[in-house]
Chain A
Amino acid sequence: MFDFGDNADYMAMGYAVTGLFLGGMVLWMYLRYRVLGREQDLIDQIEAEERDGKNK
């Protein structure tokens, strides 16, 4: 299956960087989603605490 000929190393390099960059874009977005999700949870928590404080 892997009977690659001339310049196969450069081809591999090209595909590796493509995967790296695409993966980087996806990972970056995923990480930001996670950070935002955590912040949202924190805000929810603070809001809930405040509501409890008012009810007491």
Chain B
Amino acid sequence: MSETAHSKTDAKPKRTRVARPVTPYWRVVRAVVWKDLRAEVRSREMINSMILFTLMTVMVFSIALELDREARESTVTGVLWVTIVFAGILGLGRSLAAEKDRGSLDALLLAPIDRSALFFGKMIGNLLFVLVIALILMLLLTILFNISLMKPLLLAVVVLGCVGFTTVGTLLSSMSVYARAREAMLPIILMPAVLPVLIFAVRSSAAILEAKPRADWFPDVQLLAVADVLFIAAAYALFDFVVEE
């Protein structure tokens, strides 16, 4: 591309490769997850707002659908995933924004560790929070909607869906923290990117809840797993570029 008149090249970050990372990869991941969990147990600022949001969403939905058992049955998967996604966005936005505002993100980036280890640490931390929310939500819906969601298969699909969602979410939220209106930016860039995962997750969980034969939902679960793997690979390759300073 020599089409530019005043061809300009941005400075590349200097790659001073540490010959061999001092800390083993998985120890780094574990340390980041552990740090996030401990900080959360002490402050509870993220999980509390996520739980309250979930409670209120379920309340609104059950008020709207209270009298109609049929409506409840046909919308329960929608309610489940909509709530997971929006509660998840609430948490994802916080997770990196807090890190940046306190200045601890710079400290993490300065550490002589693999950046992708940092990503997986953050992502697993977010995944754990979203899964806790999903479990509470499934319990709530089972009670309030009077429809049993506690099926191992459905749980597996929820885990797969949440893995894809938090992978893309962690990658994109580490971009949106730098945006001018970060709270508004995250859902705008996250929703369309993550919808391939969500569509397969919603469809297979609906089919499993309606106790349809295996052939009806298994292809969707397979595609969901494929999408997860692709997104994890993409995030692994691209996270370096997002956080380079």
Given a CB threshold of 8 Å, the question of whether A touches B is answered with no
Q: Which residues does B use to contact A, with CB under 8 Å?
A: none
Q: Which residues does A use to contact B, with CB under 8 Å?
A: none
